[in-house]
Amino acid sequence: MFTSPLPIFVSGLVARGFGRGSKDLGIPTANYSAEVVKNLPHNLEPGVYYGWAQIENGEVHKMVMSVGWNPFYKNTMKTMEIHILHQFENEFYGSLMKVCVLKYLRPEMNFPSVDELISAIKSDVAIATKELDKPEFIKFREHEFFQI
């Protein structure tokens, strides 16, 4: 049974990840440090979520996020990887990133191939893109969390 406390608001500096999002998948992610991940609510279930993200005091963009151990890559450490649905011109490691996590999309899964993982992520992005246009979610784009 799904019991994660949503919405949640997370803020921290963008840390270097494993480099797989851009290189292996063509789907870049912005990652939080292990310290930020450790401070997530204990009942935030591993899986894929969607919501809003902001880098520094820039524009607020749609995002899809994976929280967990990424079974395909057999991570030993829990991660929080955010794919912001926007093409950035430059890297932003060390920048302040704020995310508003609104909705659980699916559990984390293992996949038989990289192609199937990529296909699942693209499906997640398509669902999130459509869902975040709904009034109950779009209002969070203007939330005071992103204004301070």
Cα–Cα distance for residue pair 32/45, rounded to 1 Å? 17
Count other C-beta atoms under 10 Å from residue 126's C-beta.
11
Is 81 an annotated catalytic residue? yes
Which one from 81, 131, 136, 142 is the annotated catalytic residue?
81
CB 71 within 8 A of CB 110: yes
DSSP H or E stretch at residue 121: helix 114-131
CA nearest 111: which of 102, 121, 103? Answer: 121
Residue positions annotated with a catalytic role = 81
